[in-house]
A and B are shown apart, each in its own frame.
Chain A
């Protein structure tokens, strides 16, 4: 069935360094890829999304890249700060579906 694999499960980076989280999807019809940030005990919040007609999207320190041929997309966070510590989830879906297929999550730890 449809699947989204997310790596790594835990990522520890020094404050100020960059962090990269990668996701691979199985359904070639997927055309929408959101990223969510979830702080401990809180709701997931959309931080950035990308559609298949775009290869890259940026929003300040956050960027997402999409490689449709390889069926993977990545979240890039530059100049990491302590408040970036959270669990990040990727997801994928296509226009004929209401269901998001979720990755398992990446726990990002920012070391001071």
Chain B
């Protein structure tokens, strides 16, 4: 889906360092999501946001933080408290679910590794 841009494609984190993953969408979607995917595994929800200035924890929020200051942007910070950050991070977005459930569309992902 060309409307969701994640950057960078690859990211390396040093011990004790916070890193921020970018996610921008131009689809005018209301909801945005962050998932973590470990090799050979499924998707686990980290955080999601329904509207600007509001977000909710998913199943594995510990060690992560987010912000939603603009409708089109939902950056994810992987903090030093996340001891095992190596994974494939996927950002997704969808239209407002009040108009019935809408499919989530994904960005191309960011691959994070520890140096």
Chain A residues within 8 Å of B, Cβ to Cβ: 31-32, 34, 42-46, 49, 51, 89, 93-95, 97-100, 102-105
Contact = CB atoms under 8 A, between A and B. Distances in A.
Interface residues of B: mostly helix, strand, loop or mixed? Answer: loop
Contacts of B50: 98
Given A43-B107, A89-B43, A98 B97 contact: yes
Nearest to A33: B101
Interface range on chain B (Cβ under 8 Å from partner): 20 to 34
19 contacts: A31-B101, A34-B104, A43-B1, A44-B43, A44-B106, A46-B103, A46-B105, A51-B100, A51-B101, A89-B42, A94-B101, A97-B97, A98-B31, A98-B50, A98-B97, A99-B45, A104-B41, A105-B41, A105-B42
Given A43-B90, A89-B43, A104-B42, A95 B31 contact: no
Nearest to A100: B104
B58 interface: yes
Nearest to B59: A99
A64 to B, nearest CB: 13
Nearest to A9: B40
B103 A99 contact: no
B90 A95 contact: no
Contacts of B103: 34, 46, 49
B101 A45 contact: no
B75 interface: no
Contacts of A97: 97
A93 B101 contact: yes
B58 A43 contact: no
A72 to B, nearest CB: 18
Contacts of B58: 99
Contacts of B106: 43-45
B109 interface: yes
B48 interface: yes
B72 interface: no
